[in-house]
Chains A and B, each alone.
Chain A
Amino acid sequence: MLYIKCPHCGMRPQIEFSYGGDASVKRPELNKEISDKEWDDFVYNRKSLRGKHLELWQHISGCRQWIKVERDTATHEIFKTFKADEEVV
């Protein structure tokens, strides 16, 4: 079980969180004409990365904030966590 640092609450066990997928995906703006390909890339197409991955988690059994977690998908090492509006560096 992972041990994740919620930027709002501190170190918490994984069972308090739910996973939310790739954090680098950006939703296309509303009311903007976009191609089928762009839309498919947003809705379906994901890279299954091995290594460092920026992903979303929600602290559902805590502060309910969505956070960004930089994690190695192979080793589970967590490098850094960010608030939703925090710049990823």
Chain B
Amino acid sequence: MSQDFRLESVGLVNRDKKLSFKFNGKKYFGYEGDTLASALLANGVHLVGRSFKYHRPRGFFGAGVDEPYAIVQLYRNNETEPNIKATEQELFEGLEAKSVNCWPSVNFDIGAINNFLKIFLPAGFYYKTFMWPKSFWYRIYEPFIRKAAGLGVASTKHDKERYEHKYEYCDLLIAGSGPSGLSSAYAAAKNGAKVILAEDKPRFGGSLLTDDVNIGNQSGKDWAEGIVAELKTMPNVVVKNRSQIFGYYDHNMLVMSEKVSDHLPKTKKYHPNKRLWYIRAKEVLISSGSIERPIVFGNNDTPGVMLSSAAKEYLKVYGVLVGKNPLIFTNNDSGYETAIEFQKHGVQPTVLDSRKNPESEIIDEAKSLGINIKNSYVVVAAQGYKKVKSADVASISDDKKQLGKIENIKCDCICVSGFWTPSIHLASQSGNKTKFKEEIDAFVPGISKQQETTLGAANGVFSLEETLQTSFAKGGELSKKITDNDNKVSIPNVVEKKSSKHDKFWCVPLPAGKNYKRFLDFQNDVAVSDIEIALREGYRSIEHVKRYTTLGMATDQGKTSNLNGLQLVSEIENKVVPAVGHTTFRPPYTPISIGAIVGREVGKHSKPTRKSPMHAWHEKNNAVFVDAGVWLRPRYYKRGNENLFEGSKREAKNVRTNVGVCDVTTLGKIDIKGPDAAELLNRVYTNAWLKLPVGKARYGVMLREDGIVMDDGTTTRISENHYHMTTTTAQAANVLSHLEYYLQLVWPELNVNVVSATEQWAGAAIAGPKSRVVLQKLFPNLDVSNEGLPFMGYMEGDLFGVKARIFRISFSGELAYEVNVESDYGNFMWEKIMEVGEEYEIQPYGTEALSTLRIEMGHVAGSELDGRTIPYDNSLEGLVSKKKDFIGKRSLQRSAFTAKDRQKIVGVVPLDKKTSIPEGSHLVKDDKAPLPNPKLGHISASCWSVEYDNPFSLAILKDGKNMIGEKLFAMSPLKNKVIPVEIVSSHYVDPKGERVRS
């Protein structure tokens, strides 16, 4: 198909590079440098989608970020992405896109029936629908809306693209590369400030690319190119295109999304798809420009109706005519600029100006070119369904209330200009309370809240000369404050045409007897009548009107609709616009890919992975790993076809009969030194610590101030003023912060230092009746007999030339030792243990066997110390000192904690001795009781007892102390199980604790 609407040798696209693309399955051609929108318009395609609610045909309204309609589903490199603005998506070879919001096709859309059943979707439709019979919602409305609504579909595949995050600091961050952004960037850069200049479009220059102006004896466009080229050579300047600053957060941090690869058919190797920049700037200059506003008239959503600035941009940047018989409808001089461009390129436009007799240089030029101008004339309604075919126009009275006789004039597009709205989003996000500027009928930033300055059109300044002057000055002034340099830059002279005042006119009245839809919000299909309904129904606050009607709530955030909405409310309410106020701007300014926000923290990278020094050995020996916090720990070591159950049972059994070795490197370790170390321990643990001798370990429990158990572990006195504390794997970081809190803030008088030593030591637990002989083989020169190294004893040794710490402590309940060496020797230690243990049938065991061993011994772990239990609940009340005070002790007096029937840990065995009880099951008295069945307790941990060869669980049970021998039911609705059980002691194996002392 030929590009019938493309002008020869006009615009900035690369004519040497022709690109083919598909839209709704049909093949077209465009050029490198096109957007999908400009390429489609070059091919005469105006129908791109259907509207959200009424499924009316929709075309292109803008040429950039403000586009409310032209949203497509994009296909790129075997992936698909929804919610892509055709006006922003750059063309690449092989691009494919499809319309959204239409079914079965954009040309024949069943949903368009909504358009004729308008009553079905009035303002507040979503809320009113909820009032209808509930049963209808799920069966009829919800599926219907789901099918009808939406801006495309998200891919269900894993996103293979890579997204990066980057943190940056700078002196001046400048948002926008139009005349004001370039001027301030240049002045600041010349002063040696670190500058980041961000432009959301592929091309720098903003309005200079389309405006007919002259700066320093060059065209605006050439001047911009020169400045950008020079900035790029400066080492203190970062110049970024395709980069949207979308959020202004606290303490002058802004976030920018850089589209690195979206303009390419495929992301280059080692490149990200997008890069999210977190920028902390000393000063922010907001030069985000302005967006043209529409004038509201009948059927103003018909494809072919678009902003006059967009028509000019398509012509000047892309060499594309949006129509060959254009009608221009304006209330200010901007419409004339577009008309002049049409005229210069051989297309005769007609201009309708709502003003009576405006006079200006621009208008004079239009007149001298012979352009047909009708004053005090308006478009009453666009005619045509899928494309504008003509316009009903009429003269309008001076008070803008009376229309003259309606005439119909042929045209193929209507370019609208209702004056300009400054883009104040970033300033507003920063906390700036905006103010209404009467002369331009729009809000502009007020007093700066953070270190931000808004310049140029974004500040309501529409004169190029003034913009350049203020921007050069501000860039120089702010950078001088930071760098102390004062390199004066001369401001170039400017030639621009003077314009006249705009007409405060924004909505064409309905002609008698006509009921045209006049849209305010094009993306959400909010018409003038919807706002009228909302106000009639009593909504007053603009925030409420917004939510009720969905005005400005679409993905374009009302960039083209907000102000007209406010005008309407103020008119009906008979208030001035500033009294109505505008709704709050919130980031992001424009939709941002979730992938970019997530960055690289996906899948395995969502958290760091920590591995013990013995990890490679575990891998080599068929360990099946499990996540334990951020650590990877062997769950069991698979032999042959063993499953988890079989493998862990074998390993646990071997510990009970022979000897096993477990990697316990992950346990938190805190090194504590200082003359007051014992005093600190005495205050943070519930039991007594002042008399622990050197060379002894003690088990301790620490509480939070609210009496809940925080953590448990053993602490060993290495020497007079030196202790080695262990914590659970999960709580290691919290315990360290906890100790630091008390040392730094509560008891600064204590002379103690604490430091994490978790990474410094590798640990191996050697457990089982044969562990002593293995230890003896490892340390032949030490006396490791029951007398030489008794239970809870500690000694240092030499492990084949490596310094080792030996603790006689046990988690498995067997005779056991824990050997620590410096991490670098961890693997050496492990291999030695395996080597000397071979003749005693040593086997490594993983976390599953470790759990089994501790559960059947009734030793508590994280599943019992779950942030809801006190020492009594875990049968640890014997460790709670009655004599001394400690953290959290006062809370243990709370009535709930001292209740007679307080919960307590118990053992649970299924009556059939066969059925494993799912963890989390509830214990109830009567399995047939009506719901909610009163819960007496819950199963905290379950295992298969290797000692008795039947299932065994631990539970926290109400009045557990007096429940031993009771028969209850364990119910798991999740697993659909009801298991009759008996309550037994939590100490299922070796209740007297003889083995650990043997």
Report which A residues bind B (CB closer than 8 A).
Answer: 1-3, 13, 18, 20, 27-28, 30-31, 34, 36, 39, 42-44, 56, 58, 60, 64-66, 75-76, 78, 84-85
Q: Pick the most buried of A56, A60, A84: most chain B CB atoms within 10 A of its CB.
A: A84
A20 / chain B contacts, CB cutoff of 8 Å: 741
User: In the docked arrangement, what's the CA distance between A44 and B891, Å?
Assistant: 11
Total chain B interface residues with beta-carbon distance under 8 A:
26
- What residues of A have a CB within 8 angstroms of the CB of B884 in the complex? 31
In the complex, are the beta carbons of A1 and B740 less than 8 A apart? no
Partner of A56, one of B167, B745, B748: B745
State whether A3 and B251 are in contact (beta carbons under 8 Å apart), knowing that A42-B705, A43-B705, A43-B706 are contacts in the complex: yes
Q: List 10 A-B contacts (CB under 8 A).
A: A2-B250, A2-B251, A3-B252, A13-B167, A30-B683, A30-B885, A36-B893, A58-B737, A75-B431, A85-B748
Interface residues of B in 872-931 (CB under 8 A from A): 884-886, 890-891, 893
CB-nearest residue of chain A relative to B746? A27
Q: Is the CB of A1 within 8 A of B251?
A: yes
A12 vs chain B, min Cβ distance (A)? 11
Q: Which residues of B contact A42 (CB under 8 A)?
A: 705
Q: Enumerate chain B residues within 8 angstroms of A64, measured Cβ to Cβ.
A: 740
Bound form: Cα–Cα A48–B744 in Å:
25
Report the minimal beta-carbon distance from B748 to chain A, rounded to whole angstroms.
6
Residues 224 to 262 of chain B near chain A (Cβ within 8 Å): 249-253
1/0 contact trace for B660-703 toward A, CB 8 Å? 00000000000000000000000100000000000000000000
Residues of B within 8 A of A30 (CB): 683, 885-886
* CA A2 to CA B884, docked complex, whole Å: 42
Cβ of B278 under 8 Å from chain A: yes
Rounded to whole angstroms, the CA-CA distance of A78 and B253 in the bound complex is 14
Known: A13-B280, A42-B705. A84 touches B250 (CB 8 A): no
Nearest chain B CB to A56's CB is how many angstroms away?
7
Q: Are B740 and A43 in contact (CB under 8 A)?
A: no
Q: Would you list the 7 A-B pairs with minimal beta carbon distance, nearest first?
A: A3-B251, A30-B885, A76-B250, A31-B885, A84-B744, A66-B744, A39-B890
A66 and B705 contact, CB distance less than 8 A: no
Residue of A nearest to B889 (CB): A30
Complex contacts, B167 vs chain A, CB 8 Å: 13
* Centre residue among A60, A65, A66 by max chain B CB count within 10 A: A66
Contact among A3, A18, A44, A75 with B253 in the assembled complex (CB-CB below 8 Å): A3
Interface string of B738-762 (1 = CB under 8 A from A): 0011001110100000000000000
Write the B163-192 contact mask toward A (1 if CB under 8 angstroms, else 0): 000010000000000000000000000000
The residue of chain B having its C-beta at the shortest distance from the C-beta of A66 within the complex is: B744
- Residues from chain A with a CB closer than 8 A to the CB of B251 are 1-3, 76, 78
Q: Is the CB of B741 within 8 A of A43?
A: no
In the bound complex, how far is the Cα of B884 from the Cα of A76, in angstroms? 42
A78 to B450, CA, bound (A): 12
CB-based contact A60/B744 at 8 Å: no
Determine how close the nearest CB of chain B comes to the CB of A27; give it in whole angstroms: 5
Residue in A closest to B253 when the chains form the complex, CB atoms: A1
**Measured CA separation A87–B215 after assembly (Å):** 58
- Supposing A3-B251, A3-B280, A58-B737 touch, asked if A84 and B705 sit within 8 A by C-beta, the answer is no
- In the bound assembly, the distance between CA atoms of A1 and B891 in angstroms comes to 36
Instruction: List B contacts of A66 (CB < 8 A).
Output: 740-741, 744-745
Chain A residue nearest to B895 (CB atoms) is A36
Q: Which of A1, A18, A75, A84 is the one whose CB lies under 8 Å from B278?
A: A1
Interface positions of B from 137 to 176, Cβ below 8 Å from A: 167
Are A43 and B891 closer than 8 Å at their CB atoms?
Answer: yes
Given known A1-B251, A30-B885, A39-B890, contact A84–B280 (CB-CB < 8 A):
no
Across the interface, name the chain A residue whose C-beta is closest to B431: A75
CA distance A64 to B705 in the complex (A): 21
What sequence of 0s and 1s flags, for each residue 471-505 of chain B, a beta carbon within 8 Å of any chain A beta carbon?
00000000000000000000000000000000000
B706 lies within 8 A of A84 (CB): no
In this complex, the member of A18, A30, A84, A85 whose beta carbon has the largest number of chain B beta carbons within 10 angstroms is A30
The reply to whether A65 and B891 contact each other, CB–CB distance below 8 Å, is: no
On chain A, the residues within 8 Å of B741 by CB distance are: 20, 58, 66
- Whether the pair B748, A84 counts as a contact (CB closer than 8 A) is yes
Select from chain B the residue with minimum beta-carbon distance to A20: B741
User: Which of B249, B280, B891 sits near A39, CB closer than 8 Å?
Assistant: B891
> Which residues of A are found within 8 Å of B253, using beta-carbon distances?
1, 3
The residue in chain B whose Cβ has the minimal distance to the Cβ of A27 is: B746
Query: Once the chains bind, are B890 and A34 in contact (CB under 8 Å)?
Result: yes
Q: How far is the CA of A47 from the CA of B447 in the complex (A)?
A: 32
Q: Tell me the complex Cα distance, A67–B629, Å.
A: 28
Which A residues touch B278, using CB under 8 A? 1
Contact A60 B705 (CB under 8 A): no
CA distance A72 to B683 in the complex (A): 34
Q: How far is the CA of A13 from the CA of B251 in the complex (A)?
A: 10
- Contact status A60-B737, CB under 8 Å: yes
Q: Smallest distance from the beta carbon of B384 to chain A beta carbons, Å?
A: 50
Contact A58–B250 (Cβ < 8 Å): no
A18-B737, A34-B890, A64-B740 given; name 7 further pairs at CB < 8 Å: A1-B278, A27-B705, A27-B746, A36-B893, A58-B741, A66-B740, A66-B745
Task: Kindly provide the distance from the CB of B419 to the nearest chain A CB, expressed in whole angstroms.
Answer: 34
- Smallest CB gap from A33: residue in B: B890
With both beta carbons as reference points, the residue of chain A lying nearest to B736 in the complex is identified as A64
A2 CA to B280 CA, complexed, in Å: 10
Contact B890 A1 (CB under 8 A): no
Question: Inside 8 A of B683's CB, which chain A residues have their CB?
Answer: 30
CB-CB nearest in chain B for A64: B740
A65 interface neighbour in B744, B885, B886, Cβ under 8 Å? B744
- CB contact list, B482-534 vs A, under 8 A: none
List residues of chain A with CB within 8 A of the CB of B706. Answer: 43-44
Per-position binary interface string of chain B over residues 699-715, scored 1 when its CB falls under 8 Å from any chain A CB and 0 otherwise: 00000011000000000
Tell me how far the C-beta of B868 lies from the nearest C-beta in chain A, rounded to whole angstroms.
Answer: 16
| Complexed CA–CA distance, A36 and B890 (Å) | 9
Q: List the B residue with the shortest CB-CB distance to A32.
A: B885
Q: Which residues of B contact A34 (CB under 8 A)?
A: 890
A58, B891: Cβ atoms closer than 8 Å:
no
Q: How far is the CA of A78 from the CA of B280 in the complex (A)?
A: 16
Nearest to B682 among chain A residues (CB) is A30
Contact pattern, B 61-91, Cβ under 8 Å of A = 1, otherwise 0: 0000000000000000000000000000000
Residues of A contacting B890 in the complex (Cβ-Cβ under 8 angstroms): 28, 34, 39
- A43 to B280 alpha-carbon distance, docked (Å): 37
Identity of the chain B residue whose Cβ is nearest the Cβ of A44 in the assembled complex:
B706
Closest to A67 in B: B744
Q: Give chain B interface residues in 357-414, CB to chain A under 8 Å.
A: none
Chain A residues with CB below 8 A from B893, complex form: 36
Give complex CA distance A65, B167 in Å. Answer: 24
Residue in chain B with minimal CB distance to A84: B744
User: 0/1 per residue, B401-444, Cβ < 8 Å to A?
Assistant: 00000000000000000000000000000010000000000000
Cα(A75)–Cα(B737), bound, Å: 28
Q: How many whole Å from B251's CB to the nearest CB in chain A?
A: 4
Which B residues are CB-close (under 8 A) to A56? 745
Nearest-neighbour CB distance to chain B for A44, whole angstroms, equals 8
Q: Which residues of B contact A39 (CB under 8 A)?
A: 890-891
**What distance in Å separates the Cβ of A72 from its nearest Cβ neighbour in chain B?**
11
CB-based nearest A residue for B754: A64
B contact residues around A2 at 8 Å (CB): 250-251
Q: With a CB–CB cut-off of 8 A, which chain A residues contact B891?
A: 39, 43
* B745→A84 contact, CB < 8 A: yes
Which chain A residues border B885 with CB–CB below 8 Å? 30-31
Alpha-carbon separation in the docked complex, A19 to B683 (Å):
23
Q: Which residues of A lie under 8 Å from residue B249 when comparing CB positions?
A: 1
Which residue from chain A places its CB closest to the CB of B884 in the assembled complex? A31
State A13–B744 Cα separation when bound (angstroms).
22
For A68, the closest partner residue in chain B by CB is: B745
Looking at the assembled complex, report how far the CB atom of A86 sits from the nearest CB atom of chain B, in whole angstroms: 11
